[in-house]
């Protein structure tokens, strides 16, 4: 009889913003290989701890497993975000099932390590058990692998070192993870790896008392586990080798179309090493994937192997590496000197807004590029290095960039002359000076007046019967670590603010292109007549357009509108804090997207009457006159957001 494989309760950790199209992962039935959807009911939106009375708002689904579903959850009193594993009592009704959950809680809550998902607390009510865990916002290695298929050796070293650090800690405490796989390695905002999901973890037993249960994920099971010889630290090492192979080669080493054949390959250690692997990588894998557990490399021997000792390991990976090949270069003395000189000359000015760790930039080319930016770009603030929503452009080498090089940026005037000369016969040219500071100043005044005079209220005033026609950002993507910030407007036009300060937009029908060299130099021409100098940026713009159309969801239910005969909106500023994204446009529209619950607030001025549109977490939109809010007040939920936006605008006004 073929042994069964048991999945951990938290099999997948599916994270993502409201921009991502929802995915529906499946789970493997413990008694068969067929795919079955979990049958758990949706928990209520508000979760209350019966013991403390503390309330939590349940957010989007993060992942599904055999026993549980995991959701984003926010503590309503502190606004702290967690990943909460929700386990219905009906799924653990049998004593051994409940014992399994209790064992997971007991093991995990005592673990305190930099590279292990932090256990916060747990409680239960009449329907469910709730386990609150550290929220890792950059998904898991499974998601990175799905986007990338293979990783570079320096990246693999980066992740493996962190996994090994966690494993050494676990094994020292006598704990075996027993389900090491890509989906159980989570990545936080700072690109730090965290080992999670201790649903199958167990304390190490003496050899003659080893648990003979076959558990884990089929492709990562060690031979001794399949042969019912018990699970030891060496079995975790075997799984680690399978993880390394998968990241480097693109598929697990023993994966076949038939589970029985996979088990046969594991028992006989039958796998192939692709010729593309380096010799150190091949030798390390052969030292890990050995049939006899006692002959396998230990964790210390793995770290001492030349794969690690003679290979470059980056101190940190850029967030863009979640979906695209990063540009990784070993330390270069000449470059290091250049970085020091540049920081000495230009690195003294600091923003008054405190940056989140993810917003710290160490790309020297960006520092130099920043010196050459136009007046639009000088007003920009804190672009986080977070280009984690795009894959590399087809046929583009990692070193190539469609934006201008540092040398090209040294003369905006010559570029302007070149563009003007090339497009003289095929484009329209407009001069339209835009002042972002004036828009911010106006918004600050309106908001201060509204918040200082409005009476207390428990609900919002009546929403306008029909939505006023204004354009808003329905989709966006931050790829500023390489190219720039892209967005799609509700009228289906696409825009990109490039890192060099130039702006390009594409009409909804993809037939007309608008290009802004500075905030007062605007060119308009047919897409079929894009000058050679702009072909690189045009390629990026088109790629952004295709990506957002295929992969991102519209952020609300506001109607789409077409505005023929008008100049396109120009993105003047975009600011990312640790709580929200703010975008300011040339027509005075101000949009703020809040990460935590995906709500949005949009300021617009049709006919010079300031309107506020609020899109709630369910993507339903409501539009109010600002004067009505000032007169009648608004709900505490909206008031908190307005106060935050005012504070953010005041900080921008002081920059």
The residues pairing with 193 across neighbouring beta strands, listed in sequence order, are: 187
Lowest average pLDDT, out of 89-93, 414-418, 637-641, goes to 414-418
Token code pair at residue 111: 């673990």
Q: What is the mean pLDDT of the chain?
A: 77
Check residue 355 and give its pLDDT.
44
Check residue 43 and give its pLDDT.
45
How far, in Å, CA of 273 to CA of 187, rounded?
28
How far, in Å, CA of 655 to CA of 44, rounded?
43
How far, in Å, CA of 598 to CA of 17, rounded?
8
The string of pLDDT tens digits covering residues 460-492 is 998 886 655 678 898 998 888 788 899 999 888
CA atoms 360, 363, 367, 373: torsion sign: negative
Check residue 116 and give its pLDDT.
97
Check residue 415 and give its pLDDT.
44
pLDDT (mean) for 264-290: 95
**Exposed/middle/buried for residue 240 (C-beta within 10 Å: 0-12, 13-18, 19+):** buried
Structure-model confidence comparison of residues 205 and 467, the more confident one? 205
Check residue 24 and give its pLDDT.
35
pLDDT (mean) for 129-137: 95
Q: Among 200-209, 232-241, 484-493, which range has the highest average pLDDT?
A: 232-241
Check residue 303 and give its pLDDT.
97
Check residue 508 and give its pLDDT.
82
Three-state DSSP at 313 gives coil
Check residue 120 and give its pLDDT.
96
Residue 94 is labelled as binding a ligand? yes
Check residue 210 and give its pLDDT.
59
Check residue 436 and give its pLDDT.
75
pLDDT (mean) for 282-295: 96
Task: Give the domain 141-320 fold.
Answer: Transferase(Phosphotransferase); domain 1 (1.10.510)
pLDDT (mean) for 424-435: 47
Q: Is the pLDDT of residue 298 over 70?
A: yes
Q: Is the pLDDT of residue 345 over 80?
A: no
| 32, 36, 39, 42 alpha-carbon torsion, rounded to 10° | 140
Check residue 363 and give its pLDDT.
38
pLDDT (mean) for 424-438: 53
CA atoms 216, 220, 221, 224: torsion sign: negative
Q: Is the pLDDT of residue 277 over 50?
A: yes
The string of pLDDT tens digits covering residues 245-268 is 999 999 999 999 899 999 999 999
Superfamily of domain 27-134: Phosphorylase Kinase; domain 1 (3.30.200.20)
The string of pLDDT tens digits covering residues 154-199 is 999 999 999 999 999 999 999 999 999 999 999 999 999 999 999 9
Band of residue 599 on the pLDDT scale cut at 50, 70, 90? very high
How far, in Å, CA of 15 to CA of 37, rounded?
19
User: Cα-flanking dihedrals φ and ψ of residue 141, to 5°?
Assistant: -65, -25
Active-site residue identified among 11, 18, 179, 500: 179
Cα 580 to chain centroid, rounded: 14
Share of the chain above pLDDT 90, in %: 45
Band of residue 437 on the pLDDT scale cut at 50, 70, 90? confident
SS3 per-residue string spanning 322-355: HCCCCCCCCCCHHHHHHHHHHHHHHCCCCCCCCC
Band of residue 374 on the pLDDT scale cut at 50, 70, 90? very low
Max Cα–Cα distance, the chain, nearest Å? 86
Check residue 492 and give its pLDDT.
86
Check residue 566 and give its pLDDT.
57
| 497, 498, 502, 503 alpha-carbon torsion, rounded to 10° | -30
Each domain of the chain, given as residue ranges in start order, spans 27-134, 141-320, 329-378, 428-654
Check residue 417 and give its pLDDT.
46
Task: Give the domain 428-654 fold.
Answer: Arylsulfatase, C-terminal domain (3.30.1120)
pLDDT (mean) for 210-223: 78
Structure-model confidence comparison of residues 148 and 346, the more confident one? 148
Three-state DSSP at 287 gives helix
Band of residue 317 on the pLDDT scale cut at 50, 70, 90? very high
Check residue 572 and give its pLDDT.
87
Q: Is the pLDDT of residue 314 over 60?
A: yes
> Does the annotation mark 304 as catalytic?
no
How far, in Å, CA of 97 to CA of 91, rounded?
8
């Amino acid at each position: 009889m073929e042994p069964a494989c048991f999945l951990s309760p938290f099999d997948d950790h599916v994270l993502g913003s409201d921009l991502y199209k929802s995915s529906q992962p499946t789970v493997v039935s413990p008694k068969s290989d067929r795919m079955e959807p979990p049958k758990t009911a949706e928990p209520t939106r508000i979760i209350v701890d019966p013991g403390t009375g503390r309330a939590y708002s349940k957010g989007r689904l993060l992942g599904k497993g055999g026993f549980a579903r995991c959701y984003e959850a926010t503590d309503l009193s502190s606004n702290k975000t967690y990943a909460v594993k929700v386990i219905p009592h009906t799924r653990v009704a049998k004593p051994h099932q409940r014992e399994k959950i209790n064992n997971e809680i007991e093991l995990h809550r005592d673990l305190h390590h930099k590279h292990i998902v932090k256990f916060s607390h747990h409680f239960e009510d009449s329907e469910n058990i709730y386990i609150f865990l550290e929220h890792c916002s950059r998904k898991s290695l499974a998601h990175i692998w799905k986007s990338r298929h293979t990783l570079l050796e320096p990246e693999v070293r980066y992740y493996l070192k962190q996994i090994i650090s966690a494993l050494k800690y676990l094994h020292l405490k006598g704990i075996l993870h027993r389900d090491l796989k890509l989906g159980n390695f989570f990545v936080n905002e700072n690109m730090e790896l965290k080992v999670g999901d201790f649903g199958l973890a167990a304390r190490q037993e003496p050899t003659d008392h080893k648990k003979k249960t076959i558990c884990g994920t089929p492709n990562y099971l060690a031979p001794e586990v399949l042969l019912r010889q018990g699970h030891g630290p060496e079995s975790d090492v075997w799984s680690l080798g399978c993880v390394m192979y998968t990241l480097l080669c693109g598929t697990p080493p023993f994966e076949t179309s038939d589970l029985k054949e996979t088990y046969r390959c594991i028992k006989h250690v039958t796998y192939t090493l692709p010729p593309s692997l380096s010799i150190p990588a091949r030798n390390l894998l052969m030292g890990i994937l050995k049939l006899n557990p006692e002959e396998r490399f230990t964790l210390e021997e793995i770290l001492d192997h030349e794969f690690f000792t003679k290979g470059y390991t980056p101190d940190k990976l850029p967030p863009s590496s979640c979906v695209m090949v990063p540009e990784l270069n070993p330390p270069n003395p000449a470059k290091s000197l250049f970085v020091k000189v540049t920081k000495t000359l230009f690195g003294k000015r600091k923003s008054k807004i405190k940056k989140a760790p993810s917003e710290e930039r160490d790309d020297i080319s960006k520092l130099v590029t920043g010196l050459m930016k136009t007046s639009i770009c000088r007003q920009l603030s804190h672009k986080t290095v977070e280009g984690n929503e795009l894959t590399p452009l087809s046929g583009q080498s990692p070193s190539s960039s469609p934006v201008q090089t540092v040398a090209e940026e040294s003369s905006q005037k010559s570029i302007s002359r070149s563009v003007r000369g090339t497009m003289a016969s095929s484009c329209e040219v407009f001069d339209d000076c835009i002042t972002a500071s004036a828009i911010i100043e106006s918004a600050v005044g309106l908001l201060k007046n509204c918040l200082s005079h409005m009476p207390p209220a428990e609900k919002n005033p009546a929403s306008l019967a029909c939505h006023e026609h204004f354009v808003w950002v329905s989709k966006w993507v931050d790829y500023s670590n390489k190219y720039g910030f892209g967005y799609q407007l509700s009228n289906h036009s696409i825009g990109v603010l490039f890192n060099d300060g130039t702006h390009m937009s594409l009409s909804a029908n993809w037939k007309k292109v608008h290009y802004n060299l500075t905030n007062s130099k605007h060119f308009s021409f047919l897409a079929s007549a894009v000058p050679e100098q702009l072909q690189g940026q045009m390629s990026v713009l088109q790629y952004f357009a295709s990506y957002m159309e295929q992969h991102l969801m519209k952020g609300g239910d506001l109607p789409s509108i077409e505005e023929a005969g008008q100049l396109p909106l120009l993105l003047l500023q975009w600011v990312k804090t640790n709580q929200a994204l703010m975008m300011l446009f040339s027509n005075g529209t101000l949009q703020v997207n809040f990460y935590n619950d995906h709500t949005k607030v949009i300021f617009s001025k049709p006919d010079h009457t300031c309107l506020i549109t609020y899109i709630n977490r369910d993507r339903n939109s409501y539009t109010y006159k600002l004067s009505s809010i000032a007169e009648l007040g608004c709900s505490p939920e909206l008031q908190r957001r307005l106060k935050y936006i005012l504070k953010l605008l005041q900080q921008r006004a002081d920059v």
